[in-house]
């Protein structure tokens, strides 16, 4: 995207939410990038900014005590706005960016799509590209963009590890094959993953097994389609900002499950979303015609239900969890409460307890429901879902899943808990 739009550079001085100014500026359809305050002059100049915004938090604001900021400061003729002591909102930024600096408002979803397709085409040429489809919004958008850019040169592999939610694999396959005409390869590897996971109960071991097996399957698939030249990755902008920007740093693997395949030499990575925030990715998804169920999908961890099924995983336990989870998620959506939580899901606890159904004793599983609100996933608060909703969900789950006789609601925040149970 660089230099195709009037650009604002935000210098991040360690503000508490270093991405806030960028998000506000982008809502004005103005393109901006965040650089660390230590970025040197060449790195800033390479973006040819028309305006510079200093994003400073309380922690570093003391540096200006006793100094009156200059009126209308500039650096090498580029106007600078210091956000210290100013609200980071459109009311502050609009007059500076649009009236004072005259920036063009040409950063739109449509312009992004056009430019991303052009860039992928220019990078890939007539070579082959490989993409790991997870069914999440990032890889879905990457797949559609790459397919529009290079068509059949794209090989799209969906490794189905058997740890997906209810009906998810079928939805992914039908959307991308039928709606978009992408030759998605559905690798049914459930038996293979569950085989490797037999007897594994330690959470870290489980993650490791799932991650390693994923890479192995993916490498086999890559070899089968004949050594691809490029790998498409759904890296998004917060990944880049949080790792200090992409200026000259080695490429960091952000893959959901286990990092880059180790035994394939790619000529390069294609990362079409690396300047987008998550909300922007969702807007692009909708503009590309990706269904809302995928475009607005809540984050789902790479190891899938593996981190939500406590203890040893079996197909039976995963099926029980899938049913309970689907009932809970459907009820939250039906109540119009999905915006209240960033993640909401069920966990199959390893606990079994005594119950009674139709006058007969049962000794079956306890399921836990969890819903959290978070802005950065580093801390999170549990959501106070209405008791009526929880009651309905509990009744539905126990009525339709005979292997569950107890439903509990997780009322812990992060910290001290984590969002996932394992």
Question: Interface residues with ligand XMP (CB under 6 A)?
Answer: 207, 256, 299, 301-303, 307, 343, 377, 414, 418-420
**CB of residue 207 to ligand XMP, shortest distance in Å:** 6
| Beta-strand relationship, 360-373 and 381-382 | antiparallel
173 phi and psi angles, rounded to 5 deg? -65, -45
**Closer CB to ligand XMP, residue 412 or residue 418?**
418
**Closer CB to ligand XMP, residue 89 or residue 376?**
376
Other C-beta atoms closer than 10 Å to the C-beta of 114 total 12
**Closer CB to ligand XMP, residue 56 or residue 308?**
308
Residue indicated by tokens 């989870």: 325
How far are the Cα atoms of 162, 225, 309 from residue 325, in angstroms, in the given order? 15, 35, 11
Alpha helix ranges (H) inside 101-175: 109-124, 137-150, 168-173
| Beta-strand relationship, 230-232 and 184-188 | unpaired
**Closer CB to ligand XMP, residue 120 or residue 346?**
346
**CB of residue 224 to ligand XMP, shortest distance in Å:** 25
8-state DSSP, 245: -
**Closer CB to ligand XMP, residue 104 or residue 205?**
205
Contacts of 326 (CB under 8 A, 6+ apart): 165, 166, 167
**CB of residue 208 to ligand XMP, shortest distance in Å:** 10
**Closer CB to ligand XMP, residue 277 or residue 377?**
377
How far are the Cα atoms of 8, 47, 63, 246 from residue 237, in angstroms, in the given order? 15, 16, 29, 10
CA 379 to chain centre: 16
How far are the Cα atoms of 24, 30, 49, 73 from residue 101, in angstroms, in the given order? 16, 12, 11, 12
- Give dist(CA 421, CA 415) in Å, integer: 12
**CB of residue 376 to ligand XMP, shortest distance in Å:** 9
**CB of residue 67 to ligand XMP, shortest distance in Å:** 40
**Closer CB to ligand XMP, residue 124 or residue 131?**
131
Residue indicated by tokens 């799932």: 210
**Closer CB to ligand XMP, residue 88 or residue 326?**
326
**CB of residue 27 to ligand XMP, shortest distance in Å:** 24
Asked whether 332 and 338 are in contact (CB, 8 A), the reply is yes
Asked whether 194 and 313 are in contact (CB, 8 A), the reply is yes
**CB of residue 377 to ligand XMP, shortest distance in Å:** 4
């Amino acid at each position: 995207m660089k230099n195709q739009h009037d650009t604002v550079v935000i210098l991040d001085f360690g503000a508490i939410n270093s991405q806030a100014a960028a998000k506000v500026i982008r809502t004005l359809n103005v393109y901006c990038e965040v650089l660390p305050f230590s970025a040197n002059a060449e790195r800033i100049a390479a973006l040819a900014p028309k305006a510079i915004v200093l994003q400073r938090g309380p922690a570093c604001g003391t540096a200006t005590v006793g100094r009156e900021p200059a009126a209308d400061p500039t650096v090498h003729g580029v106007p600078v706005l210091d956000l210290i002591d100013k609200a980071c909102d459109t009311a502050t930024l609009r007059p500076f960016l649009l009236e004072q600096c005259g920036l063009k408002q040409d950063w739109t979803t449509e312009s992004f799509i056009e430019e991303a397709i052009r860039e992928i085409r220019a990078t890939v040429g007539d070579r082959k590209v490989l993409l790991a489809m997870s069914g999440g919004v990032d890889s879905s958008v990457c797949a559609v963009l790459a397919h529009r850019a290079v068509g059949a040169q794209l090989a799209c592999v969906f490794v189905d590890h058997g740890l997906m939610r209810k009906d998810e694999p079928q939805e992914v396959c039908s959307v991308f094959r039928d709606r978009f005409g992408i030759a998605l390869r559905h690798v049914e590897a459930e038996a293979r993953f569950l085989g490797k996971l037999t007897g594994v109960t330690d959470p870290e071991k489980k993650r490791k097994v799932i991650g390693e097996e994923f890479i192995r399957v993916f490498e086999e698939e890559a070899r089968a389609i004949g050594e691809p030249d490029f790998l498409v990755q759904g890296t998004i902008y917060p990944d880049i900002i949080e790792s200090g920007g992409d200026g000259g740093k080695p490429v960091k693997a952000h893959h959901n499950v286990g990092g880059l395949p180790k035994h394939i030499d790619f000529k390069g990575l294609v990362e079409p979303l690396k300047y987008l925030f998550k909300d922007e990715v969702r807007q692009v998804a909708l503009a590309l015609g990706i269904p809302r169920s995928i475009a607005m999908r809540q984050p789902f961890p790479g190891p899938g239900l593996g981190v939500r099924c406590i203890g040893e995983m079996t197909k039976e336990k995963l099926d029980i969890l899938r049913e309970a989870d689907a009932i809970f998620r459907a009820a939250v959506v039906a109540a119009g409460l999905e915006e209240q939580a960033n993640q909401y899901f069920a966990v199959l606890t390893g606990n079994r307890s005594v119950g009674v159904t139709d006058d007969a004793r049962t000794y079956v599983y306890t399921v836990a429901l969890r819903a959290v609100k978070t802005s950065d996933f580093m801390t999170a608060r549990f959501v106070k879902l209405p008791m009526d909703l929880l009651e309905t969900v509990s009744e539905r789950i126990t009525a339709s899943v005979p292997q569950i006789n107890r439903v509990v609601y997780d009322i812990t925040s992060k910290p001290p808990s984590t969002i996932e149970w394992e």
